Each structure stands twice: as C-alpha cells, then as structure tokens.
Structure 1
C-alpha cells in the first residue's frame, strides 16, 4: 500500500503550543520504539529501502518503506509480528523480493528511534488528515539526534487536504519543512557513528578528522541529475524537474534553519545559502525551459522565488570577498588590510526558518505535485444572429427575393501529433545556444550590464542542458558541457572580481594598501576577458548536437 504524508519540524519554542493544539481535539498518545536494519555496506539504503521492527504499545509491526511516485508518497508494507523477530520470508512473491534477494551482506541493527507520539485527526474541505506529533530521540551507536516533527498523513480525500492543514499549522507555529525521513537521518547518523568509532584515539590528527567528519555530515546539498524520457508530457517532466530543484532548496534550508542543531552546533554555512539559491535559480530556469508547454505556477510561487532569492543573496558579495577574492590577493602579496567588521545584513537562520519562506516552500511543493498543461486557447464566440443574417434582396418591382446563401465549410480536423519531449527541449536549447553564441562573439566589447545578462543566459542554458541530459546524446554532450563550463567559470570570476574592484576602489582613501588589490584585479580581469572571448568563440563553433 502507499501513503501520502508531509513532515514538518517543530522548533523548540513551538513544542508546547503544538502539543496543546493537538490535545484540544480527541487526541491519543502512544510510545513507539523502532529498530532499523541494514548491511554493513548500506545495501538497503542504497536501494532506497527502509526496513524496521517497531513496538507500538504492546504490539510489534514489521515495516518496509520505499519512495513513491512523488515527494509526499511512500510505499509502505506492514506485517504484524509476535515480537522483535525480523522475517524476510513475508516478502516472497512481492515487488521487493528481487532487491532483497540481491543483498550480499548480513543484516544487522543500524540505528533506532524512541518517540512519544500524539495522534489526532482533523478535517478540511479537501479531506481528513491524521496529525502525528513525534518527540524523542534517534540513536546510532553513541550518537543521538533529537526528533521533534509533525506529520500530516492523508486518511481520506485529496492531497490538497495535506497542504491546507499543514499550511495552517506552519503559519501558526513557525514549522519548518524537512524532506528527510527518520530512516534517512538514521542511516546518515549510523555512517557517521561508524566513521568516528574507527578513528584512532592515539592519532594526533584524530580531533581534526572528527571535526571534518561532523562537518561533512551537514554538507550542503548540491544539484542532482533528473531522468526524463519521451513518454512524459511536458507537464510531467516539469513536475519531475521542479521536485529535484525544490528538494535542493528545502534540504539546504533545513540546515540553515538549524533543524537539528539550533543552540548546539552552527551547521548552516555560506555554501548552504549558495546551494539554496542555486536550487531557486534552477527552478526559474526550468520555468523558462518549459514556458508555453505548461500552465504557469501560481502568482505567489512566482513572486516568492524572486523575493526570497534576493533575501538570501544580500550577503553573497561579502562572502565572496572574504572567502574567495581576499585569500587570493593575500597569497599574491597584498598587504593585510584591517577593515571594521561590516554589520550583519542577513540572518540566514531567521530567513530559512521564517514563516514567509517556509510558506512559499509549501506552496511551491504543492504546485510541483500537479503541474498542469497550458489552458487551451479560447474559441472565438459565435456571432449573434442579427450580425450574421444577410440583408434581404429585392426585385425591380419591389418584391423580396430569397436571401443569398453563403455556405460554411469546416475542414477535416486532424489532431496534430505532439512532438516528443526530446525534440521540444532540443529545439529550445538550440535557440538558447544561438543567443548565447551570438552575444558572446562580441563579449570583449560588451558593457558590464550586458555581460551580466549574458552570464544569466549562460547559466540558464547550462541548467536547461542538465535537465534534458537524459534525452541528449551523452558522447557529444560531454564536450559541449565542458566548453560551456569554461565560459561560465570565467564569467563567474569576472563577476566576482568586478564586485571586488568596486569594493577596494572605495577603500583607497583610508587604506592605501588597496591599490595593490586594484592593480592585481585589473590585470587579472584583462586576462580573463581575453580568455572568455576565446571560450565564447569555441562555443560558437560547436555543432549543435541536440537537433
């Protein structure tokens, strides 16, 4: 069977209020203790299968879970058990027999959860939702993570009910979307526990290695591949692409919101902000790629991506200056310049956890689950009878004649065969390439705004290629993507150095050392502009392979 649910993290400041709200209804409480199993090589996790035994009050239930058709759907197979005994024979003859039979390692206990669950059902005009508020702990070895999450599971009705109810609770209590399941969190925690346990305490670098492993545990979520095929309609393909982009946004936002670490460990870093904005930029590029073939997203989703993209980008220039440009200048010999610390102009944790951004995420996720085709063109309204009736004709003697008849001919209607997806995307990417190549031929003579516009066009082309990659010839895609990356790398550095040049130019009055930076940046920009022009020339000479 499958279930549809959405999970939101409940911050510490909201836990009491959430509990009180749930208890206002006919709520029940149950303790759940779950044991999760896998092999030392994480074979089940790699197959995206979660296998557990859970004690629910006095009863034991064996559960196997797998991802479903979309972000809120899970395949769940339950079997009652007489006790904590894992029985794989119950899956014989089912859809999961093959992946379970392929396991080579020995199954063992990897991690466990111990939670108190509050249950209550609520209704909306779209259906009935079960609220399940879990508080407790996730444990792997000597490591623990807190659990504080509110699940919204559809019991009857339409998926819109999930979002209608979740949106109310999210806005009321400041809840945060967390795309990770308990099994995903547990698998990652178990891997970290094994890595830390393997460290040699006598190794002088053990502490450094421990810190590196913990930092890697909270690593930013980059872009992932999307698989499309010609059986998909443009609307279905757009939904699949949007799901990947929003997953990148939501996962980085959860770390920035300090879902697991608020007040304990500052996990969110500038790279999380960058990757979150990359996810938003990819989503905007996807809208452009499928423009005209799908209905546009709601106005709130369109406007929200612009607003929140700008909000998260307020400190980008300062991050680039501090983490990228200045270290290179110091290595090149620039004297150290001591600046007063600029005021903090962005609180990424507050924005990521904020009601406005989290509300936008829910709106965007709901839209992505049911992307619609474009509305058919409205047929012209038939003219009124008074407008179509011909004027009566008369004989010379004044008597009326029969009106002239103007026949209407309706042609044989043949429904146009839709173009396959690879053809649609290929043609559009070809046009995007032509625009980038044409403008790039004159790159060296373009002004700064035109270069910035060209850089955005290049990013859009690169993201569009990544979305359509599974439909394109891989052998020829590799070479083209390399040429496009060369262009983008140089444009990105040019953009960063142009920003830094303006910054240091404003400092020369009080910090003469800044003249070193200006000289070095100017020389580097001259070199980069020449290299970018050569890269654009090579890109323009590329034969289009997507047609």
Structure 2
C-alpha cells in the first residue's frame, strides 16, 4: 500500500555505462506503455495524485498514487486488469478501499465522469533485483519518453524501489551508485512531468512550506525528525526543479528558505537527537552561500530596480554578482555532495527513535523560544547603536525564531501563535529590506567606477537605508512589547 522509492537522473556521460551494467547483469527487459488520466481542470494533478493504466508486456495494471507524510513514501494501490485489448478506466475497484475512495472523492467530487487520457509514457525498462543485507531492492533503468499530442520529453532515469526490508538498507545501498555514476536526486514523478507537458509548461510552480502537526506526547527525538522531514518536503521539489535546469527565481527563493528552515531546526533543536551530524550545518551553509548571489540578483531585479526607475534614476542595470564558488546553482544541486547530504538526512528521518521519554517536549520548546525572544529584545534596546555585523545577526535571529515558532505552532492555541507572528513579521520585513539595501550598495559601489551614473543609485540607497533603519528600530520596539504564547 505504501511505495518506498528513490529516483535519480543520470548525466549523459554516464548513461551508456549504466546501460551496459544492466545488460551485464542480465537484467529483465519489460516494455511499458501507460495512459495517465485526469480531468481537463487537472483535479488530480492539483492534489499530486496520479491515476494510470499501464500495459506491462501483455498485462494491464491500473494504479492510483498519492503523497504521504513521509518524504520517501507514497500511497500506491495497484489493480490487475488482466490481458485485455484496451480496457476502460474502472473506478469501481476503489469502492472497497477506504483510503483510495476518500482520496478520489476529495480530489474529484462529481468530476470523475470527466476523466480522460492527458498524456502517455512509452518506456523500455531494465529491471535487476538485488538482495542487500536483509532487504530486497529493485533497481530499474527506464529509457523512453512522455507524450502529449505531438509533443514529447525524454526519459532516462534510474529508480531504486524497496520491495522488502528497511529504508536504512535502501539508502546505504544507493550511496555508491551516486558516487560512481554521478546520479542526482529527482523527486519529480513521470506523472508530474507529463502534467507539465500537457500544460505546455517548462517547470512546475515552486513548492512552499507546509504546516507541521506535532504531538505533545512525542519525544524530542521524534519531534526533530518530523521537523527535518517537513523541511525536506519543502526543499526537494524546488531543488529537483533547479537541478533540471528549468526554473525561475521563486524556486531559488524557496530553496533558500527551505535550507534556512533546515539550518534553523538543526541549530536550535540539535540536542534533541544524538544522531545529528554537526557537519550537516556546515554543508548547508556552504550550499546556502552558493545560492546567495542568484537570489541577490533576483531581489535587485524584482524589487530595487523598479523603485530606482520610479525615483528617476538615469541609469538602471543589475550589477554583476559573481557566483560565490563559480559553480552554477543547478550544478550545485546535481553534485554528489548535495545528493549524499540529502540521503544522510533522509536516513536520519527514518531512524527509529532511541529516546523513549515522552514528556517535556513543550517545556524544552519554551526554554528555547524564550532564549531567542530575549536575545531579540536585547538587540531591540540598542539596535541603532549596533554595528553592521550585529544588525545582520539580529535579522538572522528574527528569521530563526519565526521558523522555529512555525515548526512548533501546532502545540499551542492558534490565535496566540498568530498574534505573536503578526507582531514579529514587520521586524523581519524591515530587517530584510535593510539587508537588501546593504547588498545592493556593495554591488553598486563596485560598479560606479565603470558607470558614473550609478552614483544616483548609491545616493538613493543611502537615503533609503536611513529610513528603513529607523523603521526597523520601531518594529523591533513594538515586537519587544508583545506577549509570548509559550
């Protein structure tokens, strides 16, 4: 009922090597043809649900798939339709399964009668089953294409599906494949790629953070793993889109937000589990910086430059922002280092909780939130007197507190949390604006020797900084008077 699978894309330089490996292993060849159904309004795609009929050699299988709460698992229900010529879609088979019935009812309502074929896949699959430790893992190499009318996109990917055993074994097994063949993790399903093709879109909408539901009876170890899982569900869809090379500024922004949320969780709650690796924080910081210059350009293009134009700037151009490492961000998110980090985090999330203590979660949260709250209030008392690095630290403290409040919000009265975040938000926004102006000032200073007209931008930024700085001080003062909810 739950499918456990990880899928990877293969660089063109390694595709032939992998293909030969499967041939040498006498992998079984299966011809797959699949039809994917949805309504014209995409009711299923909107819920990330896929409904397909697939011909496996001469046998038809109807499959319903939907997301689950775990980053590695999906709900899957397969129904054997037998050796028919071209079977009609049969929704009656889901009446006896309460989960499947509810999924379709919630997604379709009365629209089930409007389901039609939206796109198709034609795949040649090489399958090799391997016994590893106490687990059985099916490794599949898929070559083919997704089709919609006269359009198509190619498929050349490898999937690792856990047929029997533990997720821990699955991830251990995958590690050497990543290193040897430079595989990069892709959480986009064939159904999602097909849906994009049917819409004539190059990339999906950016994934935003989703609410997290914690249980006050959970141990701190269990709570941290749920928090990390939540950040990965935010990070991985955006990272996969960027790694594919077809992305926009919102994907970059949400990837940065997801990494910052992940870093915040690991920094604030790292003592909740003995399995947290301190190296993860350093790796995430390095990745965050690689994404930084791209985000700075986007912030300038979409925010600051229109304001400069409106102010009458004689020359408006985005200053050069060289990549911190010289590595394009899509390449960074395809790197073996990034994939290995994600595999370690996925393995951490799945590890059985070693801490059996079930009380004290909210007490520990209160201590941590109170400490962060007091640090910001102390900064508020002297914000205008702080040096630039200290103001930058205040901004990071505010963001970190906001993310941590959102992680644990489900444990407290909704209105109390909402009121607290409402008072925190203005401070975060004004501090963010101040930081953007600081970044822009540095970039224009580097540019002014080549473009004298950039002096106008520097003058405008200097004036705006004074205003935003005063605004930030006021917002911090207002925030320091708010009531805490913990």
Q: TM-score, normalised by structure 1?
A: 0.79
Structure 1 range deviating more: 85-94 or 331-340: 331-340
* Counterparts in 2 of 1:504 and 1:55: CA distance versus 1, 3 Å: closer
Q: Per the alignment, in what secondary structure is the counterpart of residue 166 of structure 1? A: helix
Report whether the alignment pairs 1:90 with 2:93: yes
* Counterparts in 2 of 1:425 and 1:41: CA distance versus 1, 3 Å: farther
Provide, for residues 69-115 of structure 1, a one-character-per-residue CA deviation record: whole Å limited to 9, x for no partner: 52222332222213223333333332223444563111332332211
2:208 to 215, 222, 228: 222
2:162 to 142, 154, 158: 154
Q: Distance in 1 between matches of 2:309 and 2:30?
A: 60
**1:232 corresponds to:** 218
Q: Distance in 1 between matches of 2:258 and 2:318?
A: 33
Shift of 1:348: 1.5
**1:534 corresponds to:** 474
Structure with greater helix share of residues: 2
Provide, for residues 165-209 of structure 1, a one-character-per-residue CA deviation record: whole Å limited to 9, x for no partner: 22211111111111122233334444x25xxxxxxxxxxxxxxxx
Provide, for residues 434-484 of structure 1, a one-character-per-residue CA deviation record: whole Å limited to 9, x for no partner: 221221222111111110111110010111122122223222333322222
2:314 to 331, 335, 346: 335
* Counterparts in 2 of 1:88 and 1:489: CA distance versus 1, 3 Å: same
* Counterparts in 2 of 1:505 and 1:88: CA distance versus 1, 3 Å: closer
Q: Per the alignment, in what secondary structure is the counterpart of residue 353 of structure 1? A: coil
Provide, for residues 28-68 of structure 1, a one-character-per-residue CA deviation record: whole Å limited to 9, x for no partner: 10111112223344444455543221110011112222334
**1:413 corresponds to:** none
Q: Per the alignment, in what secondary structure is the counterpart of residue 270 of structure 2? A: coil
Report whether the alignment pairs 1:168 with 2:176: yes
Provide, for residues 272-306 of structure 1, a one-character-per-residue CA deviation record: whole Å limited to 9, x for no partner: 33322221110011123423222242344333222
1:431-442 superposed matches below 5 A: 431-442=371-382
Q: Distance in 2 between matches of 1:334 and 1:221?
A: 35
1:521 to 457, 461, 464: 461
Shift of 1:518: 2.6
Q: Per the alignment, in what secondary structure is the counterpart of residue 232 of structure 1? A: coil
* Counterparts in 2 of 1:538 and 1:304: CA distance versus 1, 3 Å: same
Superposed structure 1 runs of 4+ greater than 6 Å apart: 337-340
Shift of 1:132: 0.8
Report whether the alignment pairs 1:256 with 2:237: no
Aligned residues: 476
Question: Would you say the 8 A contact 1:37–1:109 is kept in 2?
Answer: yes
Question: Would you say the 8 A contact 2:139–2:158 is kept in 1?
Answer: yes
Q: Per the alignment, in what secondary structure is the counterpart of residue 376 of structure 2? A: helix
Q: Distance in 2 between matches of 1:29 and 1:137?
A: 16
Shift of 1:371: 6.6
Q: Distance in 1 between matches of 2:290 and 2:392?
A: 20
Report whether the alignment pairs 1:492 with 2:478: no
Question: Would you say the 8 A contact 1:124–1:164 is kept in 2?
Answer: no
Question: Would you say the 8 A contact 1:242–1:368 is kept in 2?
Answer: yes
Q: Distance in 2 between matches of 1:475 and 1:453?
A: 29
Provide, for residues 124-150 of structure 1, a one-character-per-residue CA deviation record: whole Å limited to 9, x for no partner: 335331111112122344543322221
Structure 1 range deviating more: 301-310 or 529-538: 301-310
Shift of 1:427: 4.3
Q: Distance in 2 between matches of 1:532 and 1:482?
A: 15
Q: Distance in 2 between matches of 1:484 and 1:300?
A: 31
Q: Per the alignment, in what secondary structure is the counterpart of residue 535 of structure 1? A: helix
Q: Per the alignment, in what secondary structure is the counterpart of residue 333 of structure 2? A: helix
1:193-212 superposed matches below 5 A: 193=200
Structure 1 range deviating more: 278-287 or 99-108: 99-108
Shift of 1:511: 4.0
**1:119 corresponds to:** 127
Q: Per the alignment, in what secondary structure is the counterpart of residue 313 of structure 1? A: helix
Q: Per the alignment, in what secondary structure is the counterpart of residue 370 of structure 2? A: helix
Q: TM-score, normalised by structure 2?
A: 0.89
* Counterparts in 2 of 1:3 and 1:346: CA distance versus 1, 3 Å: closer
**1:209 corresponds to:** none
Structure 1 range deviating more: 499-508 or 128-137: 499-508
Question: Would you say the 8 A contact 2:121–2:145 is kept in 1?
Answer: yes
Q: Distance in 1 between matches of 2:480 and 2:319?
A: 46
**2:359 corresponds to:** 418
**1:247 corresponds to:** 233
2:110 to 100, 104, 114: 104
1:55-74 superposed matches below 5 A: 55-68=55-68, 70-74=70-74
Shift of 1:338: 7.1
**1:409 corresponds to:** none
* Counterparts in 2 of 1:498 and 1:88: CA distance versus 1, 3 Å: closer
Provide, for residues 403-436 of structure 1, a one-character-per-residue CA deviation record: whole Å limited to 9, x for no partner: xxxxxxxxxxxxx8712x4454344323322221
Question: Would you say the 8 A contact 2:142–2:157 is kept in 1?
Answer: yes
2:369 to 405, 429, 439: 429
Question: Would you say the 8 A contact 2:238–2:255 is kept in 1?
Answer: yes
Shift of 1:351: 1.4
* Counterparts in 2 of 1:317 and 1:417: CA distance versus 1, 3 Å: closer
Q: Which consecutive unaligned segments of at least 5 residues does structure 1 have?
A: 194-213, 377-415
Q: Distance in 2 between matches of 1:511 and 1:97?
A: 64
Question: Would you say the 8 A contact 2:34–2:53 is kept in 1?
Answer: yes
**1:183 corresponds to:** 191
Structure 1 range deviating more: 55-64 or 509-518: 509-518
**2:410 corresponds to:** 470
From the CA coordinates, give the structure whose radius of gyration is larger: 1
